[in-house]
Every structure is written in structure tokens, then in C-alpha cells.
């Protein structure tokens, strides 16, 4: 018999809703056996199973849920005694603890699914990187970026920046620091310029994965890497710089190019002015933004835009 059909005919079931948690009661405490045998519940369920008494105890009560444990005795074993109620009440805290653990596990699964859903929906490539710069997770955009082998490359399961020179790059150095749990990676992990094979520009953001909740689940030695594709954000970036720092259009463009890793000479070629003019624009950018040099100006500019596509 289904529970929803059974409950309305269980004698004194409403007592379970009234009794406090950890308090046991038996069927025969509230009804004589003769009266009990006249009920539909007895005829439909108890008698065919040759049962006699039932011991019940609520161990959990919430606004929309109640936990109730129940056990029955065969007719050959007589009625439940006081000692049986004491034993049942002793296990109530353990049942409640098991429910709490189950809740935590369910919430953890829900949170993990939610995190993955949110990250996968981001337009920006997002990578989770572990010890040895090994790739742990990549969202759809991140997988696509790695498959191209343009801005970033995957070699032996490890993430590398595409470059022609030797030695560790600024991005890889920032990742190493973040993986070690260095929360002071700071400016070194903000807006790190990336250059593709065709000269395409992007900015990388490196964050150590810390915090007692998230790091406790993942373990030690993880970092998150976001890659912002800069081309489509240029018009927005220039307007942001002009609004926040009162830069002129020329100064804003120079600051944006610095954030992409361009040198003064390269900026002069792009903009079509002399290197001297570029340096003059840079000096004014430093004065208006408070940046001390080109790296800090680049980090400041890149930090103004979120690492997501538009």
C-alpha cells in the first residue's frame, strides 16, 4: 500500500505531528487492542503481516519535512516495553546527524553542478590549473582556445603560453605563484598580455583558488585562469578610461595599447605618431591614473574590464 494512502487510516498518526523529536510512543499506548483491531489499517496491513504493536519516534521536524522512524513487533513477541522506547530514543541523534550529512552532500553536489553550469556559460575561456600547470578543467570556450594552440598550448597535459622565446613567461610565472597559494600574486596576475600567431591580442587573469570552502573541496595547489579576448572590448575600454580618468581619446588609446603589451615604438607605428608623442601621452596617463610605470598602467587598464566576452 502506498504511503499517501496508508497514512490517513493509521490510528493516532496525528500524534507523530504533535510529539516532540526524540520522544517515542507506541500504538498500544493510545488505543486498546480491541479498538485497534476494528480499524481499516489493522485489517489491510497489520493483520496480514501478523503484527501486534508499533513503536514510532519523530527524529526530525522542519517546515516542509518530518523524519519518523517506526518499527513493528510480530504478534508472537508481545507489546513494546519502556526499555524499547529508551533504546529507540538513543539512536535519534544519530539519525538526525545522518540526515544532516546527507543534506551537506546534496548541497555540495548541487553547488558543483551550479559552478560548472555558470563557468560553462561564460563566453571567456576559463581554465582550472593544478600542480605542474596541469589542466584540471576547461569550459567550452577554454577547450576551444586550447584546441587552436594559438594563445595557449597544451603539452603533456600542462598549459603553456605560445611564445617564440625560451624560459618561463610572465603568465606561467603568475600561474606558478597562484598554484602555490600566493594570494599576493596581485598585479602579476592581472591583465597579462597574450599574443597569438596572427598578432591577435588577449589578456589573461590569474587567481589562486583559496578560501576554506572551495579550497577544502579541491585540495591544495590550484589556480583559475581567465582569458579575455580584447578586440571586441576596445570601444568599451576607451570609453571607460575616458570616463574614469578623464583621459583624452589619444591618451586612452595609448593606455589601451600598453595594456595589450605594446612597446612605445610599436604604439607609435599603430597610432601614426612619433615615439616622443607616445611618451608624452604616457606621462599624462601616469599622472591621471596614478600608475608608476607601463606594467602597472597595463594592469590597471586590464583590471577595469571583466574577463568575459561581450
Concatenate the DSSP letters of all residues of 103-137 into one string. Answer: HHHHHHHHHHHHHHHHHHH-SS-EEEE-GGGBEEE
What per-residue string of b and e applies to 145-166 under the rule 16 or more CB within 10 Å gives b?
bbeeebbbebeeebbbbeeeee
**Regions of the chain where pLDDT drops below 50:** 1-12, 164, 211-218, 232, 307-310
pLDDT at position 7: 43
pLDDT at position 160: 87
- C-alpha of 72 from chain center: 45
pTM of the model: 0.44
Mark out the alpha helices in 128-274 (DSSP H runs). Answer: 140-148, 170-179, 212-218, 234-245, 249-259, 264-271
pLDDT at position 215: 43
- Contact status, residue 256 vs residue 206, Cβ threshold 8 Å: no
pLDDT at position 282: 94
pLDDT at position 284: 94
pLDDT at position 201: 75
- Contact status, residue 162 vs residue 196, Cβ threshold 8 Å: yes
pLDDT at position 304: 77
Q: Kindly report, residue by residue over 73-84, the tens digit of the pLDDT.
A: 888 888 888 888
pLDDT at position 220: 59
pLDDT at position 5: 43
What per-residue string of b and e applies to 2-27 under the rule 16 or more CB within 10 Å gives b?
eeeeeeeebbbeeebeebebbebbbb
Closest to 161 in 3D by CA, of 207, 227, 221: 227
Amino acid at each position: 500500500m502506498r504511503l499517501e494512502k496508508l497514512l490517513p487510516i493509521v490510528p493516532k498518526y496525528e500524534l507523530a505531528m504533535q510529539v516532540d523529536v526524540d520522544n517515542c510512543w507506541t500504538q498500544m499506548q493510545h488505543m486498546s487492542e480491541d479498538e485497534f483491531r476494528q480499524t481499516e489499517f489493522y485489517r489491510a496491513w497489520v493483520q496480514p503481516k501478523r503484527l501486534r504493536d508499533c513503536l514510532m519516534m519523530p527524529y526530525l521536524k522542519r517546515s516542509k519535512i518530518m523524519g519518523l522512524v517506526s518499527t513493528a513487533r510480530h504478534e508472537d513477541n508481545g507489546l513494546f516495553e519502556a526499555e524499547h522506547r529508551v533504546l529507540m530514543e538513543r539512536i535519534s541523534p544519530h539519525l538526525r546527524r545522518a540526515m544532516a550529512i546527507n543534506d551537506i552532500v546534496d548541497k555540495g553536489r548541487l553547488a558543483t553542478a551550479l559552478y560548472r553550469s555558470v563557468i560553462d556559460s561564460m563566453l571567456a575561456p576559463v581554465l582550472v590549473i593544478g600542480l605542474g600547470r596541469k589542466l584540471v578543467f576547461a569550459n567550452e570556450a577554454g577547450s576551444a582556445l586550447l584546441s587552436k594552440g594559438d594563445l595557449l598550448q597544451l603539452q603533456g597535459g600542462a598549459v603553456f603560453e605560445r611564445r617564440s622565446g625560451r624560459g618561463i613567461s610572465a603568465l606561467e610565472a603568475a600561474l606558478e605563484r597562484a598554484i602555490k597559494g600566493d594570494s599576493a600574486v596581485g598585479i602579476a596576475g592581472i591583465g597579462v598580455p597574450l599574443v597569438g600567431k596572427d598578432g591577435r591580442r588577449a589578456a589573461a587573469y590569474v587567481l589562486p583558488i583559496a578560501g576554506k570552502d572551495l579550497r577544502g573541496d579541491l585540495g591544495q595547489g590550484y589556480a583559475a585562469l581567465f582569458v579575455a579576448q580584447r578586440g571586441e572590448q576596445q570601444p568599451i575600454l576607451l570609453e571607460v578610461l575616458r570616463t574614469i580618468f578623464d583621459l583624452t581619446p589619444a591618451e586612452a588609446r595609448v593606455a589601451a595599447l600598453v595594456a595589450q603589451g605594446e612597446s612605445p615604438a610599436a604604439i607609435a607605428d599603430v597610432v601614426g605618431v612619433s615615439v616622443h608623442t607616445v611618451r608624452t601621452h604616457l606621462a599624462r596617463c601616469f599622472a591621471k591614473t596614478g600608475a608608476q610605470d607601463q606594467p602597472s598602467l597595463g594592469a590597471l587598464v586590464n583590471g577595469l574590464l571583466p574577463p568575459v566576452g561581450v
